[in-house]
Amino acid sequence: MDLVLKRRAEKAYLILAAIFLSSLVASNLIFQKFFHWSPFGIYTFELSVGILPYPITFLVTDLVSEIYGRKRAKQMVMTGFIASVFTLLIITLADLVPATQWSPISDQTFSQVFGLTFVAIGASMAAYLIAQLVDVQLFHFWKKLTKGRHLWLRNNASTFGSQLVDTMVILLILCSFEVIAWERFSSLLINGFLFKVLVAMADTPIVYFVVWLFRNQFKMKGPNEILDF
């Protein structure tokens, strides 16, 4: 790959990483609002709004794994972990400093919205780190097993397994700290996992299109990855 293409590949990686980090941090900050969704009236989901941007992180991880390889994917996962820790420190500091009398947001309101962020981010970081590493490993396991064929299989198989791990771990921690009542564990586990499975299946055409775009743009042949740029 020539120098110009390498620079474009690096810029594209940074854009994917920015989408990944934004989705991850946003999901941790907005998790306390819950909503219900009934697609075609078949089933009613009860979910945290934090689940809306979160599946994007797995989509981006699969794209980076496919195009840039395992090393870059793990690098992005660890960068997300550091970003989560740094976000937690900022929110903790913001919660500690006292609000002025004229502040539109009082200490009580701020704490109500962000007070559980420490537990949420802690649970999210544990679940995220385990699940994302599982996702990367499973993705490359299926890629090796199928010799680079059947992108749909490794995209969905890796995401299904990692999302189950992620949903279970985060709910176990949140219920243990009484952020969520234990009686809601089963329903939220089923709702969360089913929603993520539906999103994973729905994003398969997006994965194919973006992979095709990258391979065409960077003149990649077969299942090869962009290495050493």
Domains of the chain: 3-32+46-217 (1.10.1760)
pLDDT digits (tens, 9 = 90+) for 130-182: 877 787 788 778 778 877 777 777 777 777 887 788 788 878 887 887 777 88
pLDDT digits (tens, 9 = 90+) for 95-124: 889 999 999 999 998 888 876 656 666 777
Is pLDDT of 22 > 90? yes
Confidence at residue 4, expressed as pLDDT on a 0 to 100 scale: 82
- Cα–Cα distance, 167 to 185 (Å, whole number): 10
- Cα–Cα distance, 154 to 142 (Å, whole number): 5
- How many CB atoms lie under 10 A from the CB of residue 85? 12
- Cα–Cα distance, 172 to 170 (Å, whole number): 5
Percent over 70 (pLDDT), the chain: 93
Q: Which of 149, 172, 170, 161 is nearest to 197 (CA)?
A: 161
Segment of 16-20, 32-36, 160-164, 197-201 carrying the highest mean pLDDT: 16-20
Average pLDDT over residues 183-205: 84
Average pLDDT over residues 189-202: 84
Q: How confident is the model at residue 1 (pLDDT cuts 50, 70, 90)?
A: low
Record the tokens describing residue 172, joined without a space. 């176990």
pLDDT digits (tens, 9 = 90+) for 67-101: 888 888 889 988 988 888 898 888 889 988 999 99
Is pLDDT of 229 > 60? no
